[in-house]
Amino acid sequence: MDSTPNIAKIGALLGDNARARMLSSLMHGKALTASELATEAGITAQTATTHLAKLEAGGLLQMRRQGRHKYFALAGEEVATLLESLMGLTTSHEPLRTQTGPRDEQMRQARVCYNHLAGNRGIQLYDHLTGSGKLVDEGGSLLITAKGEHFVNEFGIDLDTLRASRSPLCRSCLDWSERRTHLAGSLGRAFFERFERLRWLKRVDGSRVVKFSARGEREFDSAFTVY
Amino acid sequence: MDSTPNIAKIGALLGDNARARMLSSLMHGKALTASELATEAGITAQTATTHLAKLEAGGLLQMRRQGRHKYFALAGEEVATLLESLMGLTTSHEPLRTQTGPRDEQMRQARVCYNHLAGNRGIQLYDHLTGSGKLVDEGGSLLITAKGEHFVNEFGIDLDTLRASRSPLCRSCLDWSERRTHLAGSLGRAFFERFERLRWLKRVDGSRVVKFSARGEREFDSAFTVY
DNA sequence: TGAATGCTTCGGTTACGATCGAACTATGGA
DNA sequence: TCCATAGTTCGATCGTAACCGAAGCATTCA
């Protein structure tokens, strides 16, 4: 059994500039979409597609579909280690990689994502709902419980209207800044609209950033405590 | 400062089949000559030259000239680690690499190398001579001391004759099986001839293996104790 | 000195893979 | 039902690098 073909194959994967750039922009551990990775690598979407397919087939990346998006992340700890030791070999010892995460702290806190709430606040919402048994994850799909229905209606959201729409009610969405899931789907959107109407938050125009008011923050925290 | 070009560069080095094979045949830690590496990789000497130059320039290999040979070894522990983690990624977990060292135990013990003694016995000789102050390493070149001259003459080797030849008297030679140095040069050859004449050893014909007699072994050991 | 051996340089061929334009499918939301 | 957006497939182009034959150095040893 000769294992050298394998090492050459992995090496070849790492040996392309575009792919290398993709991989290192994933070093911070978070997932990125195909087009984001294309931009990172400075190539077109078509080219990115083929690269990403190769990287996934080679076991370096892990993919997760999310609606019309594809989120890619490093396949595991070993891959990250490999990349680190590669970087360590040449650039002995630069400070490890410039922060590629969300440059803007505000954005990391709260932002809009397809009209629902993302960022730390979005995660808080999601964690509260699942942690308190209002939503449950049934084999990948998110379901609302009786308790959840009650809570949502109490909160001023008309579930029946939402159900009339064809789009899925609950849906988890991978958060690119925190690599955690938050609530998407029509329920997610409804929550966001409700927050706006309650004046808990306001969108900063021309950006995806969402700004909470002081009162909004307080009331959000008390409504969605995380256990 | 973007470090991705570097990782791509190293990746590209690893990404060629011939180079990968060369690297993994060096995994056991010992040094190989350019032509041995060419054979390992299944390519011609010309092609090997360019590959080896790239690997050395890329900091993956370390080279040491030795007469008309060039010995290559992995540049360091980090390189070995990198290769291991690469292999680990795909072939989770084959036993690490087939033994590429000298297949023949006899050969590992004692053999001829340019008419001087190599293998464990050669190392023993070398270690004795340097350890007892008969030879000293002066900035890479090996010199004989007064004590050494006395010893050599006592042993039945005519130093003056050796000095008349144009070839260097003392010379250290990297041992491919043990990655240690042993004595080469005309003195090395003279020792070997003397051992033959004393009937301490005999060459096994058609091979580089050298066989010690029981008496030879005993006397060799007492003459060349290692401290 | 000359023969043998190890390595290198040069030139030309060949194969592979990165790239993108254009046209396509799939998904989400109105 | 329809639009906008994310990602894919196809085909053609282009550059790079691996490869070897042949001839050239360099070293050892007689």
Tens-digit pLDDT profile for residues A109-126: 777 766 678 778 888 888
Report residue A134: phi and psi, to 5°.
-90, -30
Kindly list the structural domains of chain A, giving each domain's residue range(s) and its CATH number in brackets, ordered by start.
4-90 (1.10.10.10), 105-223 (no CATH)
- CA-to-CA dists, residue A124 to A129, A134, A219, angstroms: 9, 14, 13
**Minimal CA separation from A66 to chain B, in Å:** 27
A21: chain B residues, CB-CB within 8 Å:
4, 8
Contact residues for B149 (Cβ-Cβ < 8 A; gap 6+): B159
- Residue with the bigger pLDDT between B219 and A209: it is B219
A53 touches strand D (CB under 7 A): yes
Query: What tokens appear for B8 in the block?
Result: 């791509």
Element (H, E) at B182: strand B181-184
Query: What tokens appear for B22 in the block?
Result: 């060369």
A66 touches strand D (CB under 7 A): no
**Minimal CA separation from B103 to chain A, in Å:** 18
Mutation site, A23, A82, A86, A93, interface B, largest B CB count within 10 A? A86
B17 touches strand D (CB under 7 A): yes
- Arithmetic mean of pLDDT, A12-41: 89
**Minimal CA separation from B16 to chain A, in Å:** 6
Query: Is the sign of the CA dihedral A33, A39, A40, A44 positive or negative?
Result: positive
Confidence (pLDDT) at B208: 65
Residue whose C-alpha is closest to residue A19's, from B12, B89, B13: B12
Cβ atoms B119, B203 nearer than 8 A: no
- Residue with the bigger pLDDT between A189 and A60: it is A60
Flag whether pLDDT at A34 surpasses 90: yes
Flag whether pLDDT at B112 surpasses 90: no
Report the C-alpha gap between A13 and A72 in whole angstroms. Answer: 16
pLDDT-based confidence at A127, cuts 50/70/90? confident
Among chain B residues, the shortest Cα distance to A22 is held by B4
Report percent pLDDT > 90 for chain A. Answer: 20
Most confident of A74-78, A147-151, B10-14, B136-140: B10-14
> How many C-alpha atoms does B199 have within 13 Å on its Cβ side?
2
Flag whether pLDDT at B100 surpasses 50: no
Flag whether pLDDT at A103 surpasses 60: no
Query: For all residues of chain B together, what is the average pLDDT?
Result: 79
Confidence (pLDDT) at B211: 84
B78: chain A residues, CB-CB within 8 Å:
85, 88-89
Identify the bridge partners of residue B110 per DSSP, sorted by sequence position.
Answer: none
Flag whether pLDDT at B20 surpasses 70: yes
Confidence (pLDDT) at B87: 80
Report residue B195: phi and psi, to 5°.
-60, -40
pLDDT digits (tens, 9 = 90+) for A159-191: 887 777 666 677 766 654 555 677 877 888 889
Identify the bridge partners of residue B203 per DSSP, sorted by sequence position.
Answer: B210
B164 touches strand D (CB under 7 A): no
Q: Count each helix (H run) and each strand (E run) in chain B, helices first.
A: 11, 11
Contact residues for A137 (Cβ-Cβ < 8 A; gap 6+): A130, A143, A172
Residues 20-59 of A with CB under 8 A from B: 20-21, 23-24, 59
Report H helices in chain A: 4-14, 17-25, 34-41, 45-57, 77-90, 105-109, 120-131, 146-154, 159-164, 185-197, 214-223
pLDDT digits (tens, 9 = 90+) for B141-181: 677 888 988 999 898 888 887 777 666 677 766 654 555 67
Most confident of B89-93, B95-99, B117-121: B117-121
Report the C-alpha gap between A131 and A123 in whole angstroms. Answer: 11
Confidence (pLDDT) at A17: 93
Identify the bridge partners of residue A72 per DSSP, sorted by sequence position.
Answer: A32, A63
b/e per residue, B151-180, with b = 16+ CB within 10 A? Answer: bbeeeebebeebeeeeeebbbbbbbbbbeb
Size of interface A-B (CB pairs under 8 A): 133
A9: chain B residues, CB-CB within 8 Å:
15, 90
Most confident of A33-37, A201-205, B180-184: A33-37
Confidence (pLDDT) at B94: 35
Flag whether pLDDT at B122 surpasses 70: yes
Cβ atoms B89, B141 nearer than 8 A: no
Confidence (pLDDT) at A1: 46
Confidence (pLDDT) at A90: 66
pLDDT-based confidence at B54, cuts 50/70/90? very high
pLDDT digits (tens, 9 = 90+) for A212-225: 888 988 999 889 98
Identify the bridge partners of residue A74 per DSSP, sorted by sequence position.
Answer: A61
Confidence (pLDDT) at A93: 32
Cβ atoms B145, B134 nearer than 8 A: yes
Give Cα B183 distance to the centre of its chain: 11
Confidence (pLDDT) at A102: 43
Report percent pLDDT > 90 for chain B. Answer: 19
pTM for this entry: 0.56
Query: For all residues of chain A together, what is the average pLDDT?
Result: 79
Flag whether pLDDT at B210 surpasses 90: no
Mutation site, A2, A3, A13, interface B, largest B CB count within 10 A? A3
Report percent pLDDT > 70 for chain B. Answer: 77
Lowest mean pLDDT among A180-194, B17-31, B79-93: B79-93
Confidence (pLDDT) at A211: 85
Element (H, E) at B18: helix B17-25
Contact residues for A172 (Cβ-Cβ < 8 A; gap 6+): A126, A137, A142, A181, A182, A183, A184
Confidence (pLDDT) at A94: 34
Flag whether pLDDT at B11 surpasses 70: yes
Report the C-alpha gap between B200 and B155 in whole angstroms. Answer: 13
